[in-house]
Structure 1
Amino acid sequence: MATNITFHPGSVTATERIELLRQRGVTIWLTGLSASGKSTIACALEQHLLHLHKFVYRLDGDNIRFGLNKDLGFDEKSRNENIRRIGEVSKLFADASCIAITAFISPYLVDRGLARELHEKAGIPFIEVFVDAPLHIVEERDPKGLYKKARAGEIKDFTGISAPYEAPENPEIHIKTHETDVTESVGIITRYLIEKGYISL
């Protein structure tokens, strides 16, 4: 880490942003296996909140690897760095009073814990949403054909097959997508935001 740098605080306070933009920033962190429904829910939630006139932005696992994280692979070290960066970026969005929605497998408890800690130290709400579906269900869905390739040994370090997924122990929201459709899922998250006072209608 560089030693010849100094953090330069601005003149705009978090309170000022919240009061003027009439919105508090939060990060909604969707985690779950590939094909569990994270991206589908994230897209629908972003659309719904935008139509409620909320400042919202979605960070998607695949999309980020076309730009910011295009230098990273899928080994454990790269996955750690992938999530570290997203933790930092989502915190910046939320600090700007945006509702940041992230949709990443983020398989490791420690990485998600570090993202949460980063937000909590900054006084920014962090909402972990476990987008849950059994392995046999996501393998049946397999929209990208990734599970089939992983089973055939064509993809190494594939979460749920040849690499671990550590499920959240105490997520703020737990959605079972084999029992709950997209509209219901968006409703569950929206109601949570309202109940906690993060948004108002």
Structure 2
Amino acid sequence: MALKISTVGNSTNIKWHSCSVSKLERQELLQQKGCVIWITGLSGSGKSTLACALSRSLHSRGKLTYVLDGDNVRHGLNSDLSFKAEDRAENIRRIGEVAKLFADAGVICIASLISPYRRDREACRAILPEGDFIEVFMDVPLQVCEARDPKGLYKLARAGKIKGICA
């Protein structure tokens, strides 16, 4: 087992422990290659709907998947984050790290979240091997998203009750 020492935050005594079970062995066991399918788009564009439908379809074909829905992750792991710009970036970074762990385990991880900034998505792509990050943009007109408005965000924004909606 290899031991990799790196600087994490302000700490220098955090060590990455490699396991004797390799990524390839996990993929062979599952008979699939782990990857991340990153679905992004406006609120109400159908990201979660597509993620769940894709998960169901792959499951019916014998593939192991897991959906990391942005709202669901904010209920637990990211419940300490606000919607300020820096916390939005941290939300995406954390989800990217978790998605990578799933992919390393051989799971097809379907991440479904509003991630409007290319730099944040590129940072998530960069931590995965080439070809293991598949980005899907839900290109749905704003008017359609606003008509759906599943969370009432557009209505609140139009009423001036919330600002900086990242739709």
TM-score for the superposition, normalised by structure 1: 0.76
**Length, aligned pairs only:** 158
> Which residue number corresponds to residue 57 of structure 2?
48
> Which residue number corresponds to residue 15 of structure 1?
24
> Which residue number corresponds to residue 111 of structure 2?
102
- Aligned equivalents of 2:28, 2:14: Cα separation in 1: 31
% identical aligned pairs: 58
Written as runs of structure 1 = structure 2, the 5 A alignment for 1:64-83 is: 64-83=73-92
> Which residue number corresponds to residue 126 of structure 1?
133
Shift of 1:132: 1.2
Q: Is the 8 A contact 1:25 1:124 kept in 2?
A: no
For 1:86, which of 83, 88, 95 is the aligned residue? 95
- Aligned equivalents of 2:15, 2:131: Cα separation in 1: 22
Q: Is the 8 A contact 1:29 1:127 kept in 2?
A: yes
Say whether 1:137 aligns with 2:144.
yes
- Aligned equivalents of 2:49, 2:164: Cα separation in 1: 24
Q: Which amino acid aligns with 1:133?
A: V
Shift of 1:128: 0.1
Q: Secondary structure at the match of 1:153?
A: coil
Shift of 1:124: 6.3
Q: Deviations over 1:57-113 (max 9, x none)?
A: 001011111100000011100100000000000000000000000110111110001
Q: Secondary structure at the match of 1:155?
A: coil
For 1:35, which of 38, 44, 56 is the aligned residue? 44
Shift of 1:159: 1.1
Runs of 4 or more above 4 Å deviation: none
Q: Which runs of 5+ in 2 are unaligned?
A: 1-8
Shift of 1:151: 1.3
Q: Which amino acid aligns with 1:146?
A: L
Q: Which amino acid aligns with 1:90?
A: A
> Which residue number corresponds to residue 166 of structure 1?
none
Q: Which amino acid aligns with 2:48?
A: S
Q: Is the 8 A contact 1:35 1:143 kept in 2?
A: yes
Q: Deviations over 1:126-149 (max 9, x none)?
A: 000011111111111112221010
- Aligned equivalents of 1:138, 1:92: Cα separation in 2: 31
| Greater strand proportion | 2
- Aligned equivalents of 2:152, 2:26: Cα separation in 1: 44
Alignment root-mean-square deviation, CA: 1.2
> Which residue number corresponds to residue 187 of structure 1?
none
